[in-house]
A and B are shown apart, each in its own frame.
Chain A
Amino acid sequence: MVDAAQSMTQPIRARTTRSGLRKFLERKSTIAFFMALPLMLLIAIMVIYPAFYSLHLATLNKSMQRFVGFGNFTFLFKRETFWMVVQQSCFFAITAVIFKALIGFVVAHLVHNLPDKGQRKWRGMLLVPWVIPPAMSTLAWLWLFDPSYSAFNWILAQVGIGPIPWTGDASWARFSVILVNIWAGAPFFLIMYLAALKSVPEQLYEAAAIDGANWWQRIWYITLPMMRNIIAITTLFSLIVTFANFDIVRILTAGGPLDKTHLFATWAFRIGIEGNDIPLGASISLFMVPILAIAAVFILRDINKRGNEA
């Protein structure tokens, strides 16, 4: 009798376990986890592993045979070029991002105020610099800046302005790399700001117009506060990408003249790959992390504080 009861409960238990597993598999969060799993694995392989590997590399000597601890970092602190690269990277990123944001903001307004018919065409055309692979477009810029065949210099010569050493002089070379970066990056700001502008309800502007706000006051009191989060996120994102820029500087000046236009990425490449000192190159590139982390904390803290006010 007892045996019979036991033999009956066993399949029931097995059935409940199976249905429990089935329930677990059918749960939305489980499905979401499995769907995100490939991406998480990809990130782990492509980002987390190299990040830790570069940390490990940065602690080795040039021949990668011996552990040197913070040796590479202390060595860097003593080099003048390192501080110049820090300065140039910050100057490059901040100047370029400010101008990209300003130009993006102004052009987004212009495009936003175009009639709907023409707007798509302009939007498409203005995005072109951002869509072309930077390595390719920078090659075109290289020709525009070429010491012998510069189209810019030819135009300037027509109005009697002497040839400018676009990539030959340190100051002009810095200007040139920033200019190309702005040209390539401003459309990103344009498209983000345009989307943000379109999400500001028209009635807010009408209410402000009735409240007595002029054009400038409407921008200052309505547009900017309404776009604040988008501006912050776009700026942060662009700051990271610009700070870590490689292709434009590499193709346009290769860090020259006299290492004056090097950024962290290009200098790390020069030392690590071209100079065959991979641990030192890894240490250079790791310096980008704390600088960007500080910027990210400040900007994201501001976004969290404000929350979603709409």
Chain B
Amino acid sequence: MAEVTLRKVVKRYDDVEAVRGIDLDIPDHEFVVLVGPSGCGKSTTLRMIAGLEDISDGEIMIGGDVVNDVPPKDRDIAMVFQNYALYPHMTVAENMSFGLRLKHYPKAEIKQRITEAARMLDITDLIDRKPKQLSGGQRQRVAMGRAIVRNPKVFLFDEPLSNLDAKLRVQMRIEIKKVHQKVRTTTVYVTHDQVEAMTLADRVVVMNHGRIEQIGPPNELYHRPATKFVAGFIGSPAMNFIPCQLEESGGLLQVRVSDAAAFPVPAERVARYRAIPRDTKLLLGLRPEHLVDAQSNQSAAFQPFDATPDVIEPMGMETFVYFPLAGAQLCGRINPGIDAQAGAPLRLAVDLNHMHLLNEATGAVL
């Protein structure tokens, strides 16, 4: 096991920069998830750590050693691929033991490691089967088993759950977390699914356009996003953004979203927001769970307003309502017991204690 360090790592393809100088320190035992939209450079970063892509500039260190020019086989890493990359002509046991056999481990030790890993992943009955005789979830377990038996310094996962159906994905997500809790190997996991990132990671690295937008524990990213991109990417349904202005009214600082709607800024934020120049174009960021029905949220923290939802999405334990406000389409989350109808007026309330104010031009959260 080892720590992984990236220093100003750059990847260029001809004249396109896929990764633009990223710095990242991953301590021993940590589970780090690289998350971002397609083409953000997360997979390229992972492949550079694996040694499957050359590094155009910068340094990658595994366990304190610079590995820029070390071939993948000498980096002591294991990788789980999106399509599993199991050797189709080998049985599960042969697939899992391939790396160990190449390194001439004693047969008894190979057997012991396979048995242990198979037990951990619940694939003991499958070890004599060929990959084509396995389901997607079972293949995924074998691919993980192949990584575990090697007992490497670092685990790398490249979107390992993308090929599974929704139910299996949740199940395997839990399996991966369990395995990490047992083996505690430093793990770098790439996904475009923010739910996977939030549920698995000790720390999440949000990437966009080849750069790191923000690094932090899942809760920090959710509650204190640094940029509009992170605020919009993390969380489902996504955060609402409403063009707004700050204004003073009778000594009270308000966020005005339309001629008809203005909400007072919570007392503890007033000093911070007052410092913002008045001509700055702003966005009010609100998560759906902070746009709620007024009926069940009547405390002083909530500011009521009227809206007319055009779409209602009942989810069982909650109901999402979509409504227009100040030229933006917003999503709110209401109590499922409320009888909301599309096209009928609904009294909603906003919890500004969880509001975010963003600079529209720079995307920075203020």
Contacts and interface: CB of A to CB of B under 8 A. Distances in A.
Interface of A: 201, 203-204, 206-214, 217, 221-222, 225-226, 228, 308-310
A310 B99 CA distance: 20
Contacts of A228: 89
B77 A309 contact: no
Q: Which 7 A-B pairs have the closest CB atoms?
A: A211-B99, A203-B85, A207-B85, A212-B73, A225-B89, A212-B102, A209-B72
A213 B85 contact: no
A224 to B, nearest CB: 10
B85 A309 contact: no
15 contacts: A203-B83, A204-B85, A206-B72, A206-B79, A206-B81, A207-B146, A209-B51, A209-B52, A209-B73, A210-B50, A210-B73, A211-B102, A212-B99, A225-B89, A309-B130
Given A221-B98, A309-B130, A309-B132, A210 B79 contact: yes
B148 to A, nearest CB: 13
Given A208-B98, A209-B52, A226-B89, A214 B73 contact: yes
Nearest to B73: A212
A223 to B, nearest CB: 11
Contact of A310 (B71, B77, B132): B132
A210 B87 contact: no
B88 interface: yes
Query: Chain B: interface secondary structure?
Result: loop
Nearest to A200: B88
B103 interface: yes
A213 B73 CA distance: 7
Residue from the set B51, B81, B103 with the largest chain A CB neighbour count within 10 Å: B81
B78 interface: yes
Contact of B87 (A212, A217, A222): A222
A210 B77 contact: yes
Nearest to A222: B87
Interface string B59-83: 0000000000001110101110101
Given A221-B98, A226-B88, A310-B88, A201 B83 contact: yes
B153 to A, nearest CB: 12
Contacts of B72: 206, 209-210
B84 to A, nearest CB: 8
Given A209-B73, A225-B89, A203 B98 contact: no
Nearest to B98: A211
Contacts of B51: 209-210
B88 A207 contact: no
Contacts of B52: 206, 209-210
Count chain B CB atoms within 10 A of each CB in A212, A214, A308 and give the residue with the most: A212
Contacts of B89: 225-226, 228, 309
A309 B51 CA distance: 29
Interface string B108-143: 000000000000000000000010100000000000
Contacts of A209: 51-52, 71-73
A208 B88 CA distance: 13
Contacts of A212: 73, 99, 102-103
A226 B89 CA distance: 7
A210 B88 contact: no
Contacts of B130: 309
Contacts of A211: 73, 98-99, 102, 146, 150
A309 B83 CA distance: 16
A3 to B, nearest CB: 66
A204 B87 contact: yes
A288 B191 CA distance: 60
A204 B87 CA distance: 7
Contacts of A208: 87, 98
B94 to A, nearest CB: 10
B309 to A, nearest CB: 46
B85 A206 contact: yes
Contacts of A204: 85, 87
B152 to A, nearest CB: 9
Interface in B302-353: none
Taking each of A203, A206, A207, which has the highest tally of chain B beta carbons within 10 Å of its own beta carbon? A207
Contacts of A308: 132
Contacts of B50: 206, 210
A309 B88 contact: yes
A133 to B, nearest CB: 39
A256 B235 CA distance: 83
Contacts of B85: 201, 203-204, 206-207
A14 B57 CA distance: 83
A209 B73 CA distance: 6
A207 B79 contact: yes
Contacts of A310: 88, 132
A53 B130 CA distance: 48
A213 B150 CA distance: 13
A46 to B, nearest CB: 39
A209 B87 CA distance: 13
Nearest to B77: A210
A175 to B, nearest CB: 37
Contacts of A206: 50, 52, 72, 79, 81, 85
